[in-house]
Chain A
Amino acid sequence: MLTVVSGIKSQLAPGLELELAAYRYEVFIQTLHWQLPVENGLERDQFDRPDTLYVIARDVRQVVCGCARLLPTTQAYLLDEVFPGLMNGAPAPHASDVWELSRFSTKATGETPAISREEARRRFCVLFAAVAEAAIGQGATRLITFTAMGVERILRSIGMHAHRVGPPQLIDGEPVLALWIELDDQTRQALHLPLTESSALSH
């Protein structure tokens, strides 16, 4: 069973942001070998700010087992500042209803026994639903993100309304592409979230 919390750093339980940074180090640095800033076994960067919204999943032992980071595109954000070339010639969005999703992971770390594929898929959906809810709660109608090819396939397999911005490009030797994720009824239905009011009224 997962418990998922979301909030900015000042809203998180004491020590949770530290656990999150350690989890991110284990996933993104040690496992995926991303070239990111590291300090004392913790992964944080310039986009981990007081206004950054985190979504954090913990397992039955209350160990962090998933995370995501949401940034308003009205402020500086990763895709715009670091990888604008993924936007296929378009300007990166800056709008109050568009939030950036980054550092999404449901990778289990040091878990014994390893979780099943079904459980991994379930965790992915649970965390993504929490991300969508958190973003919608901030007024988002769309997410912009960039990711590896496999994640695009999973999002579409689940039934979410995701569409790429342009062709993938190599980053650290891996093909990566920018994606729009529409927080519309198609995505809500795929994530078992309540549909929009306009849709509910029509039935």
Chain B
Amino acid sequence: MSPSSPSCMIFTDTKRSLDGYIRMTFDALSNLNFPSKLAWQDEGLQQDLIVDDIPASCAGYCEWATEEAAPQISIGWAWFSLADGRTFVAPGGMSSNVMLVTQAGYDLGMHKTNELLHAWLARESWQPAEPASGAGQVLGHL
């Protein structure tokens, strides 16, 4: 595809569709810069996971966003850590305002987008640093 082809122009732009999704290819997503990276601990989430038989020693949320010019691309996920320090994405999957599309512009759908967001995250360094105590406390920028 040439850089000046119409589909390339559409799907590397962060334009919002009428349904609220920002549509882009996986390639475009993986080239984005996320200057805003927040992580915080949430004791309520930890308790919810424990009730669901997940032995979370701590848990919380991560939120990444592109630069502040609207529309910002927003990707978030819940996480939990085990007592040995290993950290995982919590059930519930990835949350975003992105719909991934094919190079031809067809929606991949919510489930495939979610799977690809997991794949994208697997290549990123996202695990929160040493968790601070206290519900809702921001752990800091990653």
Q: Measuring CB to CB, which residues of chain A are less than 8 angstroms from any residue of chain B?
A: 88-90, 117, 142, 149-150, 152-154, 156-157, 161, 163-168, 173-175, 177, 180, 182, 186
Chain B, 55-107, CB within 8 A of any chain A CB:
61, 63, 65, 70-72, 74, 76, 78, 90-93, 95-97, 99
* Least Cβ–Cβ distance between A109 and chain B, in angstroms: 18
Q: B140 interface residue, CB < 8 Å from A?
A: no
Contact of B45 among A88, A150, A157, A163 (CB under 8 A): A150
Known: A88-B70, A90-B70, A149-B76. A165 touches B20 (CB 8 A): yes
Q: How far is the CA of A167 from the CA of B64 in the complex (A)?
A: 8
Q: Are B92 and A90 in contact (CB under 8 A)?
A: no
* Least Cβ–Cβ distance between A174 and chain B, in angstroms: 7
Q: How many A-B residue pairs have CB under 8 A?
A: 78
Q: Are B92 and A157 in contact (CB under 8 A)?
A: yes
Q: Are A164 and B92 in contact (CB under 8 A)?
A: no
Sample of 17 more A-B contacts, CB < 8 Å, known A150-B45, A154-B92: A88-B97, A89-B72, A149-B76, A150-B44, A157-B93, A163-B97, A164-B96, A165-B20, A165-B97, A166-B65, A166-B70, A166-B72, A166-B74, A167-B72, A173-B136, A175-B40, A177-B74
> Interface residue count for B (Cβ, 8 Å)?
31
Q: Give every chain B residue within 8 A of A164 (Cβ-Cβ).
A: 74, 76, 95-97
Residue of B nearest to A120 (CB): B51
Q: Are B71 and A89 in contact (CB under 8 A)?
A: yes
Q: Are A149 and B42 in contact (CB under 8 A)?
A: yes
Q: How far is the CA of A154 from the CA of B92 in the complex (A)?
A: 7
Q: Give every chain A residue within 8 A of B16 (Cβ-Cβ).
A: 88, 90
